[in-house]
Amino acid sequence: MAIKVVGLTGGIGSGKSVVAELFAAHGVAIVDTDVVSHRLTGIDGAAMGSLAASFGEQYVLPDGSLDRTAMRHLVFADKTARVRLEGILHPMIMVHSTRELQQAQGPYAMLVVPLLFETTRYLPMVLRSLVVDCSEETQLQRVVPRSGLSVDEVRAIMAAQIPRSERIARADDIIENNGTLDELRLQVEVKHRYYHEILR
């Protein structure tokens, strides 16, 4: 892959999307695996035929997109269903994400992978890993109101990810996101200048 890639990750509610938007404002090409996944499972999504065949039409909404709420409940209750879902989606996400990175312009691109360290499949593609970190209390305060999930459900998602301490230990670089947007913007600006220098 010709372009240099920074891998952006962090726990649920850490603020990865906001950080990615701030890097994009500096002209950095962003490839977000969650966005790719939503496209694949949206209306006329490339994964929907395989998902409907594997799980049944009850997991397909009338508009032809994936019923994400029903699927989320299924995979949390049934580990084999999670494996089947990942077996269909993950290879497709990687193909589409790789294609987007190959088309990216600029000194470097940013690949957003929520489970960068958990799945490891994307690690060989990135030269630097950047973790967006915040306290667990902040994660809950952000996720519960916007998601409609209960505190216990959000804690279950957090528990399925690697511990915060391990994520920090494995990161090449860290952005702290417990403060204001202005503080976050300044950290992104500093990191962007750093990457622009070392990844030329």
| Count of other CB atoms within 10 angstroms of residue 133 | 18
3, 108 Cβ separation under 8 angstroms:
yes
> How far is Cα 60 from Cα 116, in angstroms, rounded to an integer?
28
Angle among Cα 9, 15, 18 to the nearest 5 degrees reads: 105
- Tens of pLDDT, residues 132-186: 999 988 988 998 888 888 888 889 888 888 999 999 999 999 999 999 999 999 9
CATH class entry, domain 1-28+108-200:
alpha beta
Give residue 1's pLDDT: 56
Amino acid at 73: H
pTM (2 d.p.): 0.90
> How far is Cα 159 from Cα 161, in angstroms, rounded to an integer?
5
Return the higher-pLDDT residue of 4 and 161: 4
- Nearest Cα residue to 138 out of 13, 11, 20, 9: 13
Q: Where are the domains of the chain?
A: 1-28+108-200, 37-105
Mean pLDDT in the chain? 93
